[in-house]
């Protein structure tokens, strides 16, 4: 199992903890890092962890903002040497657009981990499996308070 420490680069306390612990893997949200170069962050923390880049779609959605697929893909390309994996841009309440974004990213040469939203039609999960994915992110779990239900 691979464990990723979530970082936001919003607190000096978080930065200090990452510097001291130096986790092998971190998860960065594009929503929070979109105006920052990953090279600058790596220099700031003093080592180069493996990075899983998430789109931050939930953060954008809860603040009433949108994420441009073109901007997200450009960020991935600009920082690709630091990114171990990236997660496809997902859209809450629009499974078709989520799947379309995944396909666009693939067509443009990226290898995103697709996102299946908890509790939605299993046909979407099957589409990702049929497309040859052995990693699939589970999204849509944040608002669910009963995490035991999600785990089962």
pLDDT tens for 64-100 read 999 999 999 999 999 999 999 999 999 887 889 999 9
Distance CA 132, CA 76 (A): 22
Looking at domain 5-151, its CATH architecture is: Alpha-Beta Barrel (3.20)
Residue 120: what pLDDT?
Answer: 83
Q: Which of 100, 92, 151 is nearest to 120 (CA)?
A: 92
Q: Are 55 and 88 in contact (CB under 8 A)?
A: yes
Across residues 127-146, what is the average pLDDT? Answer: 80
Q: Is the pLDDT of residue 42 over 80?
A: yes
User: Over 80: is that where the pLDDT of 149 sits?
Assistant: no
Alpha carbon separation from 4 to 25, 27, 65, 97 (Å, rounded): 5, 6, 25, 27
DSSP E strand boundaries for 5-152? 5-7, 25-29, 50-54, 83-86, 115-117, 137-139
- Above pLDDT 90, what percent of the chain? 73
How many residues in total does the chain contain?
152
Neighbouring-strand partners of residue 26: 5, 51
Q: Please tell me whether the overall predicted TM-score, pTM, comes out greater than 0.75 for this model.
A: yes
Residue 58, φ and ψ in degrees, nearest 5: -65, -45
Q: What is the pLDDT of residue 145?
A: 65
Which of the 8 DSSP states describes residue 24? S
* Average pLDDT of the chain, as a whole number: 91
Cα separation, 131 vs 9, whole angstroms = 34
| pLDDT bucket at 58, cuts 50 / 70 / 90 | confident
């Amino acid at each position: 199992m691979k464990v990723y420490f979530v970082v936001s680069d919003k607190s000096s306390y978080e930065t200090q903890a990452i510097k001291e612990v130096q986790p092998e893997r971190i998860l960065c949200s594009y929503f929070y890092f979109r105006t920052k170069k990953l090279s600058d962050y790596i220099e700031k923390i003093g080592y180069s962890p493996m990075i899983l880049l998430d789109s931050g779609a939930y953060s954008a959605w809860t603040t009433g903002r949108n994420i441009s697929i073109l901007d997200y893909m450009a960020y991935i390309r600009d920082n690709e040497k630091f990114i171990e994996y990236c997660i496809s841009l997902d859209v809450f309440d629009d499974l078709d657009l989520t799947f379309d974004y995944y396909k666009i990213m693939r067509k443009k040469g990226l290898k995103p981990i697709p996102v299946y939203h908890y509790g939605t039609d299993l046909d979407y999960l099957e589409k990702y499996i049929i497309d040859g994915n052995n990693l699939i992110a589970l999204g849509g779990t944040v608002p669910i308070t009963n995490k035991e239900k999600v785990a089962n």
